[in-house]
Amino acid sequence: MELLSLKKNAIKDSKWFMEQAYKEALKAYRTNEVPIGAVIVKNGEIIARGHNEKELKQDATLHAEITAIRKACKKLNSWRLNDCDMYVTLEPCPMCAGALISQDKDFIYRRA
């Protein structure tokens, strides 16, 4: 049991988090959205996930990054996502880039 939990923690590296972002992109793909996914990580744990939901919710702002940022802010009860890393499957569009730039320097953005 202990060995299993050690192994589980050991695989939570950058590659694993990017794979989780990719899984989010697949969720978007399966619902005929543009396949982009994002996860936000704090202290080695995923605190928010997001994928494109523009078509589903008919909202032009529901890009993967924005959805993940909104969920993370709600979870942390703060707009500042200090010490968080975001993993995204694609480079951000201008809207999402603006949202990412508005974060403090302790917010790190990583793309596939």
The β-bridge relationship of strands 45-51 and 37-42 is antiparallel
Of the two residues 51 and 63, which places its CB atom closer to Zn ion in the complex?
A: 63
| Least distance in angstroms from the C-beta of 107 to Zn ion | 16
Annotation says 65 is catalytic: yes
The β-bridge relationship of strands 45-51 and 84-88 is unpaired
Binding footprint of Zn ion on the chain (CB under 5 A)? 63, 93, 96
Within a 10 A sphere around the Cβ of 48, how many other Cβ atoms? 22
| Least distance in angstroms from the C-beta of 97 to Zn ion | 8
Name the residues annotated as catalytic: 65
